[in-house]
A and B are shown apart, each in its own frame.
Chain A
Amino acid sequence: MRCPQTPPKVNFVAAAPLIRGQGPFNLLRLPNPAPSPFFPTLMKRLLALSAFVAGVALHAAMPAPEGFSHVKSLGGIDEYRLDANGLQVLLMPDHSAPVLTFMVTYRVGSRNEVTGTTGATHLLEHLMFKGTPNFNREKGNNVDQLLERTGALYNATTWLDRTNYYQTLGSEHLATVVAMEADRMRNLYLREEDRRPEMTVVRNEFERGENSPFQALIKEIYHAAFVAHPYHHSTIGHRSDIENVSIEKLRAFYDTFYWPDNATVSVIGDFQPAEALALIRQHYGPIPKAPKPIEEIYTSEPEQLGPRRVTIKRVGQLGVVAVGFKNSAALHPDWVPTQVLADILTDGTNSRLYRALTDKGLTTNVSPYNGPFRDPSLCIIFAALAPGATHEQAEKVLLEEIERVKTDGVTQEEVDAAIAKQLTQLAFDRDGSFAIAGQLNEHIAMGDWQNFVQIGDKFKAVTPAHVQSVATKYFNVDQSTTGWFVPIVPGAAKAAAAK
């Protein structure tokens, strides 16, 4: 790719999941699933979250083979449970291309961390590539050696509620990836000599993120907005925790969360269900279930009783205003109307804030981020200031437009357009097994994979009254956290003094 002639657009990527990273140069490779490029695009996909619209061809699940219980089937996906240990298995066969995606989602994310172990979920995810007695560099078959030889698109990502490991590759390699993934569920080396160099790798990932004023701003907003709930801290964690967390603590993390009854295996694409289930039983079946129940997070965020504000001042060129409102959990009925509201406010050149801010020369763009998580998080509206505009001006207009929604509501036309865009995006989110896996993963993390199938219907049911109602319920200044990035322009002070 050529160096950009047009500078990169503002990307608010900090709220995206962390990815283990991959070499920047790949011939004909699909892009990364995650943070990568594109907050607006990414968020639309994650928020559009999903999936395919009901009724995907008539589909009959095969009878549960030995060792499995059939749980349910919906929208072309069959759910089974491995009787031996409770492993959840989702199968979605599709023979249109000779590739498949195999994915393991563990229900552990940065929500499961406490002070001293922030960032541990993510660091452990990195160490999951360091080998086991069966698959390791010395044998020439560690994860990277094994998968890169096949041309697989593979990686792992960590976010607030989950960690996932995935491979998209030729369907002839299914047996190989099942064996490898099952093996590293319980047999990881987890050695201090691996932690030390990987810690500095992750620290550089942290440093790269800190390079961006926007990522730093999002972290600050979350820190201020959540005082009790673990969404308070970012998935990358605090620098001091990344540097000092011990291998023993990481081992304890692994031994607490990496068990079959805390995981979902998804297989999507070109495979035979009976064969896939046989492989899964063969390799996962011998693993016992967790020795003790995995505790649920019981901390909830206390009610916020007034507006909160954070400011970041550092070297930069143009300011940013970001207003985060407490939203609902992603499976709550209010989440989808909140997304429609966010779209009406910011999606496209006809959106309300684009017209009120960008068309008026106050911002260069506006974008939303409606956190799609298991517990209530934030719906943040970003306004990237245009040259010459002030924070006060942009924030005032932004809040006025929100008040207008509360008092006057939105039009049926606006709601129809937002729904049409979401539904079309759902269709495009099914372009290949990798895209489907990426969406399905987030619904598993929210707590119910069926939402992947059902969310289209949820969007279709949204009315202008719903949108006005969630604006009134959630978009309150008293439950908001406003962040300003105030740039210190290099040389500006000297120039002013000279005048």
Chain B
Amino acid sequence: MNILTPTCAALLFITPLAAQEPSPGDMRSANARLNFSVPDAPAFTILNYTPSVIIRPSTVKEVGLAVADFVRGGSVLPKAFAAEFSPGLLVGGSTLTIRQYNANPFWYRARISVASRTFDDKTGRIQASLGLRLTLTDEADPRTDRAFIQDLSNLALSINQTIARKVQIAPPTGTGPINVEAADVEALEEEVDRLRAKQRDEKWNANIAELAAAVRFSSTDSLARNAVADKYQAWIAGSFRVAQWGQFIFNLSGSLERSAALRLDSSSIAMNSRFYFGSNSMKVYGEGQIVAVDQSPALYLFSVGGEINPISSFWLEFAAGFEKRGKDPAIIRTVFHVRWSLPEVFAFP
């Protein structure tokens, strides 16, 4: 593998020209974090796996049942499995107050992911993985944004009082959610969307630091006891506010993998960085990326571009730049992407 000198790395503005597809989680969190946050579920990423069903246990009991099934099954790795959870929320989530969350957000933001899938249909080989994601700081976290929480509290109280006037006019007949369809309630609920959008816009360039790591196991058959760790991967990402109009973000990731000779000698490293100017809905950027894989010549990329978010859940991204690998001549690249995601709240008519 080519070793990147600190000087070389520092001089480069780094980023992918052929942008990676963002995970739904990336798109959910904020436009500004596209391509540059650590993976939401590192265990899925290290397997290059996009599971159609992700189990998100909400209680320790659910995890216990899953483990019991696994043990009863003779420790046979499932052919397709994906789960993700926060250990902090799992252990005490049902009684976790927002004040307790604010007292120790690091613990509740930590996430564990596990996955397995058939690697080779002919031989039945299975790969499994375990991932950990830690958020060291996140000033964009809505739960620790005091002004936002105060606004939501006031709104919750208004909705509650409005509904109370309609339903607490007779004694209750049981416990359970109630549905009140009324224009005044609907108007207040629309305010929830407005407040969330306002919070995102205000925090688009907030300081965030995250890291993640994952390990992949490969088995010659479907039995867990025959699995061998054959790949390790890690990511670290950060974003830093520059006044109200700018943001510097970077991502560093690396992997170490067993080669055909079963030695841990296949490695890769990638560094990306981007500098944004603008706002959450419209910004321009300059970026660079350097990628080195094993003994191959390093790949350098540089580009400038922009992102526009003309309407909710819909983005346009354009970029132009050049790519250079080792001593090869530089190649000019252009990119135009249209991205969209489902709205945060999707109501059927």
B is a partner of A: no
Could you tell me which A residues sit within 8 Å of B by CB distance?
none
